[in-house]
Amino acid sequence: MINRKLIAALSFFVLMSHKCNGEILACSDGKTIKIWETKSGDWEDARCIKNLTGHEHWVLSVVFNMNYPNMLASSSMDAIKIWETKSGNWEDAKCIKTLTKHHGHWVLSVVFNAKNTDMLASSSWNTIKIWKTKNGNWEDATCIQTLGGHGGWYTSVAFSPDDLNIIAFGSRSAIRIWETKSGNWGDAICMKTIRGCGSVREVAFNPDDPNMLFSGSDDKTIKIWKTKSGSWEDATCIKILTGHEGWVRSISFNPDDSNILASGSHDKTIKIWEAENGDWKNAECIKTLTGHEQGARSISFSFDGPNVLASGAHDNTVKIWRTKTGDWRDAECIKTLKMDYQDVYLSLAFQPKIKK
């Protein structure tokens, strides 16, 4: 059941442009997304430089375009908004497009295709929608396909990191993997339905191994699914990561080291998992981060180096964790950011580096 009293989303990111060598924080406050800036990199001097307004309902999700970091998408009830700053300065950011095709349902998750800046997927009640712009101009974006129809909420969606034509999404009963061999999503088929995975809260492909998929669920586990042949029709579970005492709400890979995974849980903790040399069958929890007073709702590693992690929780705080040595066993909380509202839904995402 969606909490309609308040759903908030947070997004952290590093803005790598000639205008700013510090850090930026985007934080939704009810229906507003606030953009915070710290030019020195010291969160003590952070200031709000922009309020992005226009959503009529609480914001659930914020995500950046991996190949065009000056663009972000945010989702709410029956609306996805595309925001852009052409200059790289978020003080002049504006909404360039509102997508509305989810028939009055909350849009729980949005994600850009990492290989195609012109494609976006969104999840809601009973449907996954694929959005596309032909010429890279999101002002003319349209819904090109609707997937799903199996009933229930689709809670998370992820594109394969190296294939435009494979998408996975989690629901309250299964993970479904769809593929279009022709590149035309109009002929996409569901090639695999994975059951026995609990009520799935988030799915994520291994960024360095597109034949490996991770799922975090209400059964307190993270399951790792693998296909040896490259076809998801033969996918099997190769490992179950256990140790959390509550629902696993969020999972995030370290963008500079895919052997490191973080998981946030309803048990108020964040766990850091490590797979030596990519061997996830023997992965272990190397650190449990504690300090949140309520469940950790969302987590994200920074793209500006491998040593910073952000976590947002229902205790109306966001914590910034850092390891000075690069070894997550010595990680500690360096800053706690207080939000205005408690018991909220959070979404965290660091902005990717601008590719040169």
Give per-residue pLDDT as tens, 268-281.
Answer: 999 999 999 999 99
Residue 354 in domain: no
Residue 102 in domain: yes
Nearest C-alpha neighbor of 158 from the set 109, 199, 92:
109
Residue 176 near residue 188 (C-beta atoms within 8 A)? no
Residue 343 in domain: no
Mean pLDDT in residue range 326-353? 80
Question: Any idea what the CATH number is for the domain that residue 119 is in?
Answer: 2.130.10.10
Residue position matching structure tokens 């699914």: 225
Residue 348 in domain: no
Reported as a pLDDT band with limits 50, 70 and 90, residue 1 is: very low
Output the pLDDT for position 39: 76
Instruction: Please say if the pLDDT value at position 296 is more than 90.
Output: yes
Q: Report the domain count for the chain.
A: 1
Return the top range by mean pLDDT from 17-31, 252-266, 338-352.
Answer: 252-266
DSSP letters along 251-313, please?
EEEETTEEEEEEEEETTS-EEEEE-GGG-GGG-EEEEEE---SS-EEEEEE-SSSTTEEEEEE
Residue 347 in domain: no
- Please report how many Cα atoms fall inside a 13 Å half-sphere around the Cα of residue 92, on the Cβ side: 6
- Please tell me which residue, 28 or 199, carries the higher pLDDT value: 199
Residue 345 in domain: no
Q: Domain of 26? A: 10-338
Residue 157 in domain: yes
Residue 259 near residue 275 (C-beta atoms within 8 A)? yes
Mean pLDDT in residue range 95-110? 90
**Cα–Cα distance between 305 and 297 in angstroms, integer?**
23
Q: Which pair of structure tokens corresponds to residue 239? A: 């490992």
State pLDDT tens for residues 224-254: 999 988 788 899 999 999 999 999 999 999 9
Output the pLDDT for position 4: 35
Residue 4 in domain: no
Output the pLDDT for position 42: 64
